Amino acid sequence: MLCFWKIDKYVHVNTILNIVYVVRPSAPSVTVTNPLVDETQVTTLATCSSSGFRPGTINVTWLLEGGPTELMTDTTTVTALTDNTFAVTSEYRRVVSKIDNGKTLICTVNHETLDAPISTPAALNISCNHTSFCYF
């Protein structure tokens, strides 16, 4: 027995499959500088970096001794990397005071791919030059 199939309509569907994957940022690393005490100039006290995330929108915040702190200038930069991910660098800058020595500075990174923000603490190390009157 022969069977014949009659196709009344042929539907051609163009399907575009977009594969989107998100990549989480690495835990931030904090590098603390050893600034000299100069209570008149804005100084970079620390730099926070994270990389390997996508999309490129990320939030970096700083806490000093557990409370919010004011940055003197916003120096957060997001850079596109060759592997189609992003990196962020943020500097904590403000006027240095000898009373900041030993305080804990925390960099927190928040990204849409994270369940909770990632934080890294670092202790400040404020140095005195020979003309400063520093007594720690």
Predicted model pTM? 0.73
pLDDT digits (tens, 9 = 90+) for 83-121: 999 999 999 888 877 788 888 988 899 999 999 999 999
Q: What are the b/e assignments for 31-58, b being 16+ CB within 10 Å?
A: ebbebbbeeeeebbbbbbbbbebbeeeb
pLDDT digits (tens, 9 = 90+) for 121-130: 988 888 776 5
